[in-house]
Amino acid sequence: MPRRPFHKVLIANRGEIALRVMRTARRLGHGVVAVYSDADHDAPHVRLADQAVRIGAPPPAQSYLNIAAILAAAKATDADAVHPGYGFLAENGDFAAACKEAGLVFVGPSPDAIAAMGNKAGAKAIMQRAGVPCVPGYQGDDQSDEAMLREARRIGFPVMIKAVAGGGGRGMRLVSDADAFPDLLRSARSEAAAAFGDGTVILEKAIANPRHIEIQVFGDAFGNAVHLGERDCSVQRRHQKLIEEAPSPAVGPELRARMGEVAVQAVKALGYEGAGTLEFLLDADGQFYFMEMNTRLQVEHPVTEALTGLDLVEWQLRVAAGEPLPLIQEQINFSGHAIEVRLCSEDAAHDFMPQSGRMALWQMPETIRVEHALESGAEIPPYYDSMIAKLISHGATREEARTKLIAGLEQAAALGVATNQSFLISCLRHPAFAAGKATTAFIAAYRDELRAPAVDAADLELAALLLSVSHPHAHPVRSGRSLAAAFATPLRFEIGGEVRECELWRERDGLYRVTQDGAEHRYEIVSLVNDAIRFRRADIVDGARFVRDGDRLFVQHRSQTLAVHDLTLARPQSSAAAGGDGKVRAALNGRVVAVLVKPGDRVELGQPVVTLEAMKMEHVHTAGIAGTVAAIEVAEGDQVTTGRIVVEIAG
C-alpha cells in the first residue's frame, strides 16, 4: 500500500482536544496549525500552535463548521494533514471528502465509511444485515411529523428520538407519550441542525435502565482490525456522558470477547481505517444491542490509553500516514482500572444548566492526568460544549482508581464559573457507583442524594470571614494582640440562593468573632496567602481556597464550591428575577431558537414560551405566572445575555 507521509497537521477543533492532538503530533515530529473563532482569539490552543488562522466572522458557534475557511487555512500554512478532533466536523463525510479533494490527508476514516457508519440510520441497517442485534426502531426516509408519530406509536412508548449525525446527546430526546412527541421532535431536530447541520432523526425503543457500553476499535489500510476493550459510559445527564471507566464492572471475559469480536468483524467488513467506537446498550440479562458507531476519536479515549499504555492519537496519525496498525490483537494488553470524569461549566443544582463567564481561579491537580485548555482569568464562551476539562485516574484496582480520582477532584480549583465538580465527587462517592452498579438511570435514581449539601452555619461564617479579609480596603491580617477597640462589621450577602446577614468582629486578641442568628463562633487565621486560607474554629484547623472577583466571592471548602454575592452595600432586590412579576428572563447567555407564543396568547404557569440554545443544548424557558402574553422582546436568531427580558406576561 502507498504511504501518505505528511509534515504539518492542522487541527480543525478547539480547546483540550486541540492541545491533546498537538502534543502527540509534535512528539512524532509534525508541525501543528490551529484554527480559531473570534471567541477563541487568545485561547491556549491558539497561542501554543506553530501557526494559527482565524476561520470566520461571527457567529463564533459556526466558525468551526466552516469547511471552506478550514481548507483555506491549511493552504495558507502549507499544512498537508487535517485532524478533526471530535465534535464539529469530525463525522462529516463532506468535510473528509473536501480534504481529500484538496490533497490533504484526513486523519480519520474514508468519506464512504463516515457516510456508512457516521449516520445512525445507515449504521443500523448495515449492522442488521450483518446479523448484529440492534435496538428496535425506525430509520426511514419519511421524516414528516405524521410519519414519525405513526412509527413512534408502532414502536411503543417510551421512545428515544436521536439525531442521525453527531453525538454527545445533542438532538436526543426521551419521549414518554404521544402528546409530548411533537414538541420534543421539533426540539430534537432544531438542536441537531444547530450542532451538526443536519436535523434528520431516527426513533428507537427506550430500553429500561441499561448499561452504555462502547468498544474501541482500530482499522488500517491493509485490512487489519483490532479492538482495545470496552468502556462503561453509563453515568449520564441529558443523555451526555459524565463518567467513563474501563473495564466495565458489568462485562466479564466471555461477554468482552463476544462484543469485541462483533466490533472487529464490523470494522473489517467496512474496510474501516482509523479510530472508531461501536456503542451498545447492555440490558440486565446480559443481552447487548448496537446503537451507533462513532467514526472518530472519543472524548473518553484517555481511559483506554491508561488501560493499554498506548497513545491512540499516535495510532490515528500512523494509520492516516499509510502505516499498518502497530500491534495485532494478541499483543494488546490491559492493566488495572481507569476512570474519567468530565468537568463541565454547568449548574448541577439547576438541571445542569450550562454556565459561561470568567474563570477567576483555575488550578488542576498534578497527581492524575488532566486534559484541559483553561487558565485563571480565561473567559468561557457560551457557544461551545460545556466540558472544560477531563480528569483521569488509573489504579491497580477499580477502588484505587476511584479514590485517586476523588482526591484529584478535591485538589482541583475551578472558581468563578459554576461547575459540576462537587456533583462529580458525590457520584464517585455514592455507594451504588462504588459497588459498580450504576446504569444509565443512576443520576435520575439518586439525584437527591447526589445534590450538594445545604449551606450550613460553618459555610456562612467562613463566607463572612472571607468577604471581610478579601475586601480591597480590608486591614492587613496580623497575628497577636491589638490596642484597637473591637467593632462590628455588618455583612449582607447571597449564598445558596438565600440572602443572609451577620456581623463580624475583630477582637483585640487578633481573633475574629462571627455572629449569625444568635449564634457565634471565634476564628483564628493561621495563614492567608494569595488564594488560600488556613484557620482554626473550635480547636479544628481547616483550610479553603477562594478568589474575590469584584462583589463576587468564590470559595472551595470541604469538596464544595460556594458562590457568594456581597450585598452589603447593594440596594435590596425584589423577587422578580424568579419570573413572579410576569417577566421571563434569559437564564443564560444564548441564542433564541424558538418563540413558542405570540402576543395575546393565554399561558399557564410553567408553560414553555421561549427556547434558547447555548453550548450546543436547548433550554426551554417557561411562564412564571398564568396570564396573557403582553409583549415578546426577542425574535428567533437573536443572541441574548443572562437576565434579559424575553417575554412579558400580564396576570
**SS3 (DSSP) at 464:** helix
Q: Which residues pair with 290 in a beta bridge?
A: 134, 280
Tell me if 626 sits within 8 A of 651, measured CB to CB: yes
Sorted by sequence, the CB contacts under 8 Å of residue 551 that are 6+ apart come out as 565, 566, 567, 570
Q: Which residues pair with 411 in a beta bridge?
A: none
Q: Please spell the DSSP secondary structure of 201-242, one letter per residue.
A: EEEEEPPSS-EEEEEEEEE-TTS-EEEEEEEEEEEEETTEEE
Tell me if 200 sits within 8 A of 217, measured CB to CB: no
Q: How far is CA 29 from CA 160, 242, 317, 381, in A?
A: 45, 34, 11, 32
**SS3 (DSSP) at 319:** helix
Exposure string for 63-100, b = 16+ CB within 10 A, e = fewer? bbbbbebbbebbeebebbbbbbbbbbbbbbbebbbbbe
Q: Give residue for cell 459561561.
A: 356
Q: Which residues pair with 121 in a beta bridge?
A: none
Torsion of CA 341, 343, 346, 348, to 10 degrees: 40
Sorted by sequence, the CB contacts under 8 Å of residue 251 that are 6+ apart come out as 213, 230, 232, 259, 282
Tell me if 7 sits within 8 A of 80, measured CB to CB: yes
534 is catalytic: no
Q: Strand 608-614 vs strand 617-622: parallel, antiparallel, or unpaired?
A: antiparallel
Distance (Å, whole) CA 187 – CA 181: 10
Task: Establish whether the linkage from the previous residue to 158 is cis, with ω within 30° of 0.
Answer: yes
Distance (Å, whole) CA 556 – CA 496: 14
Torsion of CA 143, 146, 150, 152, to 10 degrees: 60
Distance (Å, whole) CA 478 – CA 210: 58
Tell me if 229 sits within 8 A of 260, measured CB to CB: yes
Q: For residue 461, count other CB atoms closer than 10 A to its CB.
A: 24
Catalytic residue among 231, 237, 296, 506: 296
**SS3 (DSSP) at 305:** helix
Phi first, then psi: give them for residue 378, nearest 5 degrees: -75, 150
**Reduced DSSP (H G I as helix, E B as strand, rest coil) percent helix, strand, coil of the chain, to 5:** 30, 35, 40
> Residue 606 corresponds to which cell in the numbers above?
410553567
Tell me if 133 sits within 8 A of 288, measured CB to CB: yes
Distance (Å, whole) CA 559 – CA 544: 10
Q: Please spell the DSSP secondary structure of 512-548, one letter per residue.
A: EEEEETTEEEEEEEEEEETTEEEEEETTEEEEEEEEE
- Active site residue ranges: 296
